[in-house]
Every structure is written in C-alpha cells, then in structure tokens.
Amino acid sequence: MPLAGRHVVLGVSGGIASYKSCVLARRLTEARAAVDVVLTAAASEFVRPVVFEALTGRPVLTSLWQPERALAHIALAKTPDLVILAPATANLLARAAMGLADDLLAALLLARTGPVLCAPAMNDAMWAHPATQANVKTLGKRGWQFIGPEAGPLAEGPSERPGRMSEPEAILAAAERLLAGQGGGRWAGRKVVVTAGPTREHMDPVRVITNPSSGRMGYALAEAALARGADVVLITGPTELPLPAGAAAVRVETTAEMQRAVQAVLKDAQALFMAAAPADFRPASTADRKRARSDGHLTLELEATPDIIATLQRPKTCLMVGFALETGDGLARAREKLQTKRLDFVVLNDALEPGAGFEVTTNKVTIVSKAGEPVILPLLPKRDVADRILDLVESALT
C-alpha cells in the first residue's frame, strides 16, 4: 500500500466540506500514513482541532505562533511525502497563488517544493469566477495536482455546476496513485485491464438471463491496481457500485460486448484480470416484444455465448489471470483451466464456501499458477484479496 509508512500533511481550510476531511483523516490513518493536520483559523470554526487529534492520534497545528513548534511551517513543508489540501477554499487558492504566507498553512505551502494534491470546494459561482480559475491555472503550472470539484448538490442547494468537494475515497485513491507513481512501484504506468460484474442476455426487451455477481472482486482489483499507479481500464457489466476514481471505464451489457470491449483495449496491456462472471448461455433468439404470460407455456432455447478467453488475440507480454467459481473439487478444474485456456494464474473460489463468491464483501481464494504450489489465502475483505493477487502476479511481470 503506497500510503503505509508515508508522512502526509492534511491542510484543511474553512469550507463546509471540512466535515468530510474528518473522514479523509480517518481513512489516511487507517491506511497507516502518519497524518499531520493543519487547520486555518476559519477551518477551526467548522471543526474543532480535537476531532482531528482524536482521529489521527497526532497533535493538530493551527497557528504559526505555537512556541513548541516554532518552525513547523518549514518542517512540514520539507518532510512530508505529500501535502493534501481538502477542502481548499477559494481564499486559500488565492493566497497560495499570490505567494502569501499569512498563516501556518499558507507559509507551509510557500515553502513546499514536493507534491501537493488539492481538492477545492466552494460555491459554484466562486469556482467559475475568473479569479479562481486563474489561480488554479497558476498553481497547476507550478505542479499542483487537482482533484475535483465535482458537480452535484452544494450546502446551499442543488447545483449542476462544479463546486462540491470530491469524496474522501476519491481523494484517498488519488493520493495513493500519486505516491505509487513517485515510489516507482512495479505497476506504475502499466496498463491493466479488469473485467467485472455479471452480463445480461435478453430473451425479450424486458427480461434477461443473468447471475448475482456484484462486481466487487473486479472493482477491488481495479482499485488496488490504481493505488499502485497502474493505468486501469475497467470493463464492467451492470453493477450498483461506484466506478473507482481514476479508472477508464467501459460499460457493457452482454458477453459478446464484453469480449469485443476487452479485445479493443488489450493491445498494449500488461495484465488482464478476468474477474467478471459473464453469462455462459444466451437465448438462441430474442423476441422483439415482451412475451406475455397469457402466451402460456414457454420453452427457451439457449446457445453458448462466446468464450472470452478462448477467442481473445493476446499480446505476448500480457499476463492472463482467470477466475474460476466452482462448487466442489475446484482445484482440479482450476488446474485444467490453467492448461486448456493458457492462463498464467487462476483465482479459484468455492461458491458454496461461507463468505466467498457472489454478493459478499469478503472472499476466500486459492491462487493456482504454472509455477509452484497453489497459494491458499484465508477469508479476507475483497480489497485485501485483490492486493494479495497483485503481489503474486507482480512477480511474473516482465
């Protein structure tokens, strides 16, 4: 995990979205970063420093004039791996663009030469104002990275225009990506394709054959690869899940569409993770009107859908990771799949095992590869499973 053991300064300025920064501080700490929170005076009006102290387990800084930390603005500019500003007010952007140093956070930013990740949040008219836009441009030219603002409801009411701060999860993912890129991890800059979710095959305009795959395992893999700095293309069947921030997403419905979508992006990929559960059968014909119950008895003829793995033209350097959901003696089936489908790894899980498979947030998998013994993992959250899979596949990257 790129955040583990890293030193992060979270600068919070005085916007309504500062309540979301509490969640961000928590998530950063859970990711095992050492988090020093710096509040502007206005931010302290919104959230008391003690809240951040409790969440991070570290003292919070609010002023240049704290005798025990007299040169904090210089130390906190130099040592952290990353400075995150969330929320960044219009006022903070203006002060930073002007090079003012009139409080601890502004002084720290003026002394900062390393990366800054900035999540602005403000009224939509304040964001659209030419002064704010000019400040953002100036700071971007100086190397600041921006995330958001997003369109969506603001504290003062509904809005279709950007102003709202990106969600803490998206900021966390952007921070992980930034740090992974810096660390030169083995996934940084590599193209990774992930399939996720079920597919749907229509028998008529309103009825489908599908399965209960939630897409969580594939989305977790996409998030984990993004966190390691990979360029991720997520090809997803219909799911309820929010798209992982930073992934290029392609939405598909049928297995044939998924096959075409994977082929279209595979050319320069270094790894393909086929975590989707595409339908193996589809109706041999699709009615163009809804079949009525009054039609009485219905016999549905099914035909096999394209076998995505078998029909792909694969780049030589792309590692192929298949998933096998079995009921019963899966190990033999997984080994067979590895051979016949010419895969580098097969991730096996047992649909009958409690906590594994569809519709749950955990998984218990065994990873089978051409080299070595199967790796049996304990029951873990899907995101942890994703990290363990990436650790293993990483060793085979060329």
Ligand X SMILES: Cc1cc2nc3c(=O)[nH]c(=O)nc-3n(C[C@H](O)[C@H](O)[C@H](O)COP(=O)(O)O)c2cc1C
180 binds ligand X (CB under 6 A): no
How far apart CA 49 and CA 198 sit, in angstroms, is 45
90 binds ligand X (CB under 6 A): yes
Give whichever of 94 and 325 is closer to ligand X, judged by the CB atom: 94
Amino acid identity for residue 162 in this structure? P
Residue 211 a catalytic site member: yes
Please report, for residues 3, 117, 150, 171, the alpha-carbon distance to residue 27 in angstroms, rounded to integers and kept in the order given. 10, 16, 20, 10
Which one of 21, 89, 166, 236 is in contact with ligand X (CB under 6 A)?
89
Give whichever of 16 and 256 is closer to ligand X, judged by the CB atom: 16
110 binds ligand X (CB under 6 A): no
Stretch that binds ligand X, among 62-70, 119-127, 231-239, 253-261 (CB under 6 A): 119-127
149 binds ligand X (CB under 6 A): no
How far apart CA 116 and CA 97 sit, in angstroms, is 13
Site residue total, ligand X (CB under 6 A): 15
Stretch that binds ligand X, among 55-63, 84-92, 278-286, 296-304 (CB under 6 A): 84-92
Interface pattern 2-41 for ligand X (x via CB under 6 A):
-----------xxxxx----------------------x-
Q: List beta partners, residue 53.
A: none
Q: What's the closest the beta carbon of residue 13 comes to ligand X, in angstroms? A: 3
Give whichever of 16 and 249 is closer to ligand X, judged by the CB atom: 16
Residue 286, helix vs strand vs coil: coil
How far apart CA 76 and CA 71 sit, in angstroms, is 9
Phi, psi of 77 (to 5 degrees): -85, -35
What are the structure tokens assigned to 328, written together?
A: 């019963």
Give whichever of 156 and 307 is closer to ligand X, judged by the CB atom: 156
DSSP-H helix ranges across the chain: 18-30, 41-46, 49-56, 72-78, 90-98, 104-111, 124-128, 130-141, 168-183, 216-227, 255-265, 308-311, 330-340, 382-394
**Among residues 34, 77, 35, 81, which one has the least CA distance to residue 179?**
81
42 binds ligand X (CB under 6 A): yes
How far apart CA 274 and CA 196 sit, in angstroms, is 7
43 binds ligand X (CB under 6 A): yes
Q: What's the closest the beta carbon of residue 10 comes to ligand X, in angstroms? A: 14
CA Rg value for the chain: 25
The full DSSP string for 193-216 is EEEESB--EEEETTEEE-----SH
Give whichever of 85 and 226 is closer to ligand X, judged by the CB atom: 85
Which one of 25, 28, 92, 116 is in contact with ligand X (CB under 6 A)?
92
121 binds ligand X (CB under 6 A): yes
166 binds ligand X (CB under 6 A): no
Stretch that binds ligand X, among 55-63, 89-97, 178-186, 306-314 (CB under 6 A): 89-97
Residue 331, helix vs strand vs coil: helix
Q: What's the closest the beta carbon of residue 91 comes to ligand X, in angstroms? A: 4
Q: What's the closest the beta carbon of residue 44 comes to ligand X, in angstroms? A: 9
Give whichever of 92 and 272 is closer to ligand X, judged by the CB atom: 92
Q: What's the closest the beta carbon of residue 45 comes to ligand X, in angstroms? A: 8
Q: What's the closest the beta carbon of residue 190 comes to ligand X, in angstroms? A: 37
Q: Which residue is associated with the tokens 């597919």?
A: 199
Give whichever of 91 and 366 is closer to ligand X, judged by the CB atom: 91
Residue 272, helix vs strand vs coil: strand
Contact 347, 327 (CB under 8 A): no
Tell me which of 91, 123, 135, 211 is the catalytic residue.
Answer: 211
Q: What's the closest the beta carbon of residue 122 comes to ligand X, in angstroms? A: 3
Contacts of 303 (CB under 8 A, 6+ apart): 281, 282, 283, 284
Cis peptide before 80 (omega within 30 of 0): no
Residues that bind ligand X (CB under 6 A): 13-17, 40, 42-43, 89-92, 121-122, 126
Residues recognised as catalytic: 211
